[in-house]
Amino acid sequence: MTFAIDPGPLDRAFEHACLRLDERRFADALWARRLDVWTTDTVAQQSIERRLGWLRAVETAQPHLVRLRTFADRAADAGFTDAILLGMGGSSLAAEVLHAVIGAAPGRPRFHVLDSVDPDAVGRAMARAATSLFIVASKSGSTIEVAALAAEAERCVRAAGVACPESHFVAITDEGTPLHHRAVEGRFRDLFLNAADVGGRFSALTFFGLVPAALMGLDIDALLASARSMAEACRIADPRRNPGLALGAALAAAAMDGRDKLTLRLPAALAPLGLWVEQLIAESTGKDGKGIVPVIGESPAISLGSDRILVTTGTTHAASLRPAGSSGGIPSVTIDMPETSDLGAEFFRWEVATATAGFLLGVNPFDEPNVQQAKDATRALLDDYVGSRHVPLPEPDAASGGMRASLTMAAREALRGEPPLALLHVLRPGDYVALLAYLPPDDERFTPILDGIREKVAAATRAATTLGFGPRYLHSTGQLHKGGPNTGVFVILTADIAGDLPVPGQPYSFGVLQAAQAVGDFQALDRLGRRALLVRLRERDPALLQQLGASLTGGLG
């Protein structure tokens, strides 16, 4: 694997970042788990101490490899046609990367990740419940989406007349969580207790990534071997030669110089890696008004502005992935990844880089202080629903053509009387636009339209654009949206659902849960003074979404 940095206009800033790492002997301090390098606050130190277990993830995994292989072989022999991972954020994204990039071996069950509560997506995932193995993954063991999905999976398995429904379930969680107790009491097929001192987004090389990898029949030894080699390289004291510290220094130097948009270019075969990097960077650095905004899936034809740093990664020389306009003045990092098994190394490299960038930016990269705000708002809305039988919606600022649009106070003030769908006309230099769609992420009718909106906005304004599907993004970029720099303009999209599904054991449906999460996030953004637009479409009609896109982008530039 090769690694190169062209800091361009960041030459001095990058060298300054490396000097800071030199002065603090950061590589040694990180591996020695010296808490004083991060902060002198004892409470914050305790919080960080509980999140550094990822540094020894490879060694922790080694004694469990025989068990993992035996478990996976027995699952394959049991005749399961499908293995479905029910998880959110850090509990699911590494598995999604491994599946999309490497894929399941012949003779193994088809592998799927369900990280959506959209009724359409849930219904499709449960279609073969009678012959499916469900992996319920949650660090806290109480994630509302995962609990709802697990309840529906159990209902479907029982409805199919399976003699031993408990044999269709596996749990991955921390010790002592509600999911741990449920797995024991319910006699799940297997239970994997993860190390408690590893945060969810740093858990790719723990059971959260390795159990799915084993089920897919992947070469876990090769995956861990590449991670081990990267870990050794990341012990090098000189940050300029340390592949994790150097990447982190480049990202932090860029952010502190106003280039806080990390543009990640990946070939199609590696595209899912972007989702994992996006969550890791956004949730780790986006707090205290600071942060790095990951930009993935953007058209390579977009000319990059002065708020960007470019990282290209590929299984062959990645320079060909550099987009138009990226030369001459855009700092860049190039990573070559010769083999797909090197994903283990990339997981570890980016974890070290993220920790390094957090240190240099002066934030705790291991907490997520703003995530709870949207959760609390969702819970309050669900409680209201129980009494009123409807999700309280914000008053519309405009309603016509099958659309209902509501603005946060900050967005209303920015528009100064202009209509809500003109929100993108008030973009400022350095802003980014986030499209946040509460639609099924696997529905090919909608994603191309959303990508088209992104491309039109970027081409007309040169603003960075991102696309997230709810509620997945709440466990990924949601922390950055609320805790990072106030440079985001958010468009939250919802659409009425023709066919809903009840959540077993709850007084609400999947559609109601999804609506509460969209409105709850809108309310949280409003309280924090963020510019956001909530649009509710009367139906899931691609033509209506096209119409919305035309209204949002009309006249830009």
Return the pLDDT at 1.
66
pTM of the model: 0.96
Calculate ∠ Cα 216-220-221, nearest 5°: 155
Who contacts 381 (Cβ-Cβ below 8 Å, separation ≥6)?
A: 391, 392, 516, 519, 520
Three-state DSSP state, 490? strand
CA 148/CA 144 separation, integer angstroms: 6
Return the pLDDT at 442.
84
Q: For a pLDDT cut of 90, what percent of the chain falls above it?
A: 90
CA 447/CA 53 separation, integer angstroms: 37
Label residue 329 exposed, middle or buried (CB < 10 Å: 0-12, 13-18, 19+). Answer: exposed
Cβ neighbours, 10 Å, residue 389: 10
The listed CATH number (3.40.50.2300, 3.40.50.1370, 3.40.30.10, 3.40.50.10490) that belongs to domain 371-553: 3.40.50.10490
Q: Which helix or strand (DSSP H or E) is residue 151 part of?
A: helix 144-159
pLDDT tens readout for residues 379-421: 999 999 998 998 988 999 999 889 999 999 999 999 999 999 9
Written as one letter, the residue type at 39 is: T
Residue ranges in the chain whose pLDDT is less than 50: 317-327
Specify the CATH superfamily of domain 57-224: Glucose-6-phosphate isomerase like protein; domain 1 (3.40.50.10490)
Return the pLDDT at 340.
85
Following DSSP, what letter does each residue of 180-222 receive, concatenated? HHHHHHTT-SEEEEEPTTS-GGG-TTSHHHHHHHHHTT--HHH
CA 12/CA 257 separation, integer angstroms: 10
**Domain parsing of the chain, residue ranges:** 2-25+237-361, 57-224, 371-553
For the domain covering 2-25+237-361, report its CATH number: 3.40.50.10490
Written as one letter, the residue type at 75 is: A
57-224 matches 371-553 in fold:
yes
Neighbouring-strand partners of residue 191: 171
